Amino acid sequence: MTPTMSKEAWLLGILDLIEPVGECEEWQGALVGRTPVGYTPRGYLFEGNSQGKHSVRSIVWRFKHLAMPPAGQVVRMTCCNDRCVCIAHMKLMTRADSVREQFRRGEHNTPARRAAVIQRARANPNAKLTIEGAREIRASEEADEVLSQRFGICTKRVGMVRRGEAWPELAQGASVFNWRP
């Protein structure tokens, strides 16, 4: 049986991964998507809580307010810093208000945002498929399996490129603003 750490030692370990950066307190640990996460042993946040990864913002909120956010409420950051876990920058709001705030800030899934995400992905020097490769796939009459092996991508992706579902700007009259996942 492995020894368990005390709640105080666990919380100190969490706090050790938070560093002041400007007006924010940034999480230096893992992110899942854009959310800072930390490991929580069973029962450390509240009774009956399962162990696993939890939002560090929820952990900080829990220990500052001695309760989890009320049902139907989410913790939203006012500073727009993905790594920030500063309690002074946290604000409670409903999920509907959170979505309105995302639209106000321009963070929600808009055509311009999707285009920016696609552009960043394509600028990745480690990307398996470039625009030249997509053009070659579109012009080729070879089997999907042959092309997938040549470019190191799955056959489904080859088909998506050919149909204009991936790299839509290569399709007739299409642009990244027409893109749908």
Per-residue confidence band for 171, with pLDDT thresholds at 50, 70 and 90: low
User: What is the pLDDT, as a whole number, of residue 46?
Assistant: 62
What is the Cα–Cα distance from 180 to 164, expressed in whole angstroms?
11
Phi-psi region of 164 (alpha: psi -120 to 50; beta: other; left: phi over 0): left
The answer to whether 45 and 59 have CB atoms below 8 angstroms apart is yes
Instruction: End-to-end CA distance of the chain: give it in Å, rounded.
Output: 46
| Domain spans, the chain | 7-105, 111-178
| pTM exceeds cut of 0.75 | no
User: What is the pLDDT, as a whole number, of residue 158?
Assistant: 92
What tokens appear for 122 in the block?
């394509």
Q: Tell me: the pLDDT tens digits for 106-123?
A: 776 677 777 777 777 777
Structure-model confidence comparison of residues 88 and 3, the more confident one = 88
What tokens appear for 69 in the block?
């956010």
What tokens appear for 107 in the block?
């963070």
Per-residue confidence band for 47, with pLDDT thresholds at 50, 70 and 90: low
User: What is the pLDDT, as a whole number, of residue 181?
Assistant: 44
Cross-strand pairs, 55: 37
